[in-house]
Amino acid sequence: MNRLTRRRFLQAAAAVPVASWLARYHVLAASEKGKVKIRDLRAMVFQGPERNYTLVRIDTDAGIWGFGEAYGSPGVGVREQVLALRPNLIGKDPLEIDALYTGLGTRTDGSAHALMRAASGIEMALWDVAGKILSQPASVLLGGRFRERVRVYDHAAPHNMWDKASCKEWVERVKANPSGFTCHKFGLRHTTPADDPGRDLANRMLSSKELRLVRQGFENCREAIGFDHDIMAHCHWEYDLRTAIQYAEAIESIHPVWLEDPLPVHYSESWRQLSAASRVPICTGENWMRRAEALPFVINRGCDILHPDLRKTWRICSR
């Protein structure tokens, strides 16, 4: 595509509100808008060993294409959702990202009609296309990089966190992994009512046996791996307030990076009380649909770490 000259940059800059955090993107895109159209939208589902992955591809009439990822596991209906939105994009300008996303209407408004996983993958692919059209990394278009490297974690866990030999095998496995992960997230494997009379599937509590197992299991993991690697505990939105506090207390001694999603998804007073009571940082956010759902957590100090998942919720453009 045509390179942006200094004169064209200054001409375009004059038409862009300075206050907009996307001002740089609008400046870079101004001279290229209207030149490229979306030709096709496709979705592909890949099955991995434990989960599947839904990729979104946008093709343009200029031969430029972009990829995005829509959350895929469980991926029931996500591919169909992406294809259902296809008529909203064909023939449109891929650089009009905000207009395209807003034009999806009820598909992104948080209502029962919303198809947020599909919309998230589509938006991601649009930014990939925009970066290629403008010969800029998407990070530049979105305001610039805050860092050159980002630490990531895996879900590697011991086969049996209560067995020290299993924990030792886990350490050997993760340290030998060429991927080099030094941060690992996993949670408790629950007992069953058959082997634990205190386990009740109808409530949001841990049995006294499970509370002991939480402490013992995570302490075994920390003892085996030391402090060169970090550990995160994931709870999958399972517990009530009292149990979440007990969980945090049980793992406090291993100094985890965070305790993730211990309470039901949406904000309640329990989130504020938990954050105030816990000495372990509280993390949540991957199942928020829209940025408005994060607001009460921020205002009320309902968590320490905001953790939206851009493959299924929120928007890349949300700030």
Please state whether beta strands 38-47 and 52-60 pair in parallel, antiparallel, or not at all (unpaired): antiparallel
pLDDT value at position 20?
63
Residues 144-158 have a mean pLDDT of 93
**Cα(first)–Cα(last) distance of the chain, in Å?**
29
Please state whether beta strands 230-234 and 183-186 pair in parallel, antiparallel, or not at all (unpaired): parallel
Mean pLDDT estimate for the chain: 90
Instruction: Report which of residues 104 and 153 the model is more confident about.
Output: 153
Per domain, the residue ranges of the chain are 1-32+139-148, 36-133, 164-306
Q: What percent of the chain has pLDDT over 70?
A: 91
**What would the pLDDT profile of 192-247 be if each residue is shown by its tens digit?**
999 999 999 999 999 999 999 999 999 999 999 999 999 999 999 999 999 999 99
Instruction: Report which of residues 292 and 191 the model is more confident about.
Output: 191
What single letter denotes the amino acid at residue 291?
Answer: R
Q: What pTM value is reported for the model?
A: 0.86
Kind plus residue range of the DSSP H or E element containing 239: none
| Architecture in CATH of 164-306 | Alpha-Beta Barrel (3.20)
**What would the pLDDT profile of 27-74 be if each residue is shown by its tens digit?**
999 999 999 999 999 999 988 887 888 999 999 999 999 999 998 777
**What would the pLDDT profile of 5-35 be if each residue is shown by its tens digit?**
545 544 554 444 434 668 888 899 999 999 9
Q: Does 93 have pLDDT greater than 80?
A: yes
Give the sign of the dihedral formed by CA 311, CA 314, CA 318, CA 319.
negative
36-133 folds as: Enolase-like; domain 1 (3.30.390)
The model's confidence at residue 319, banded by pLDDT at 50, 70 and 90, is very low
Instruction: Output the six-digit token pair for 178.
Output: 């060429």
* Token pair 């920390």: residue: 222
* Ranges of H-type helices in 230-282: 241-251, 269-277
Contact between 55 and 41 under an 8 Å Cβ cutoff? The reply is no
